[in-house]
Amino acid sequence: MRIFFGIDFPQSVKAQLKREADRCERFCEKASFTDGDNYHLTLRFIGEIDPAMLEVFETVLKETADRVAPFSIHLSELGHFSKRGGHILFRGLRRERGLGGLVRNLDRALKNQGFPVEKMPFKPHVTLARRVRWKEDFQKMAKAVKLNDLEVPVDQIVIMESVRVEGRLVYRPIAHARLKG
């Protein structure tokens, strides 16, 4: 099974992100847009695990949630970065103390269970599309689309499983824990 730790968004936020992605689509020559039900914020990607190991990751989830109080994140500007095969179009986040504390606690809990901590810096973003080729300059699109900051309350974290269902990528929550800290 393929898993990651993340923040799952309420349907209202997913619907807003879908509307924003739809507004960006006309500026793209080609792109693979994220399914509206799959919007989330990845905290740490784990990858393939033996299903028997899930209990250990659930312990990490609970330990992390017990140490962190609820907070909010703020989705801000559009951004992009290059990857093989095209650009990634994303919604960025303002720098948030609560989110940074959550990731540090998650890393500590993973390390306590004997898992290596990711060395790459955490760059939070919500992916709107992959393999993007622009019709026009990205900056022109970013100005034309004009997004407002979007506040998202965070009161739980989840372990998500990444699976293919009838050829479609689906991220489904398989365990969650309420933030209590």
pLDDT tens column, 101-137: 999 999 999 999 999 888 888 889 999 999 999 998 8
Domain ranges of the chain: 2-178
Phi-psi region at 80: left, alpha or beta (left = phi > 0; alpha = psi -120 to 50)? beta
* CA–CA distance, 57 with 26 (Å, rounded to integer): 41
Q: Write the pLDDT tens digit of every residue in 71-104.
A: 999 999 999 998 887 899 999 998 888 999 999 9
- E-strand stretches of the chain: 2-8, 28-33, 40-48, 71-83, 86-93, 125-134, 150-154, 156-165, 168-178
CB 7 within 8 A of CB 99: no
DSSP-based three-state secondary structure for 61? helix
* Fold that domain 2-178 belongs to in CATH: Cyclic Phosphodiesterase; Chain: A, (3.90.1140)
| Burial letters 18-50, b for 16+ CB under 10 A, else e | bebbeebeebbeebebbeeebbbbbbbebeeee
pTM for the predicted model, two decimal places: 0.92
| pLDDT number for residue 128 | 97
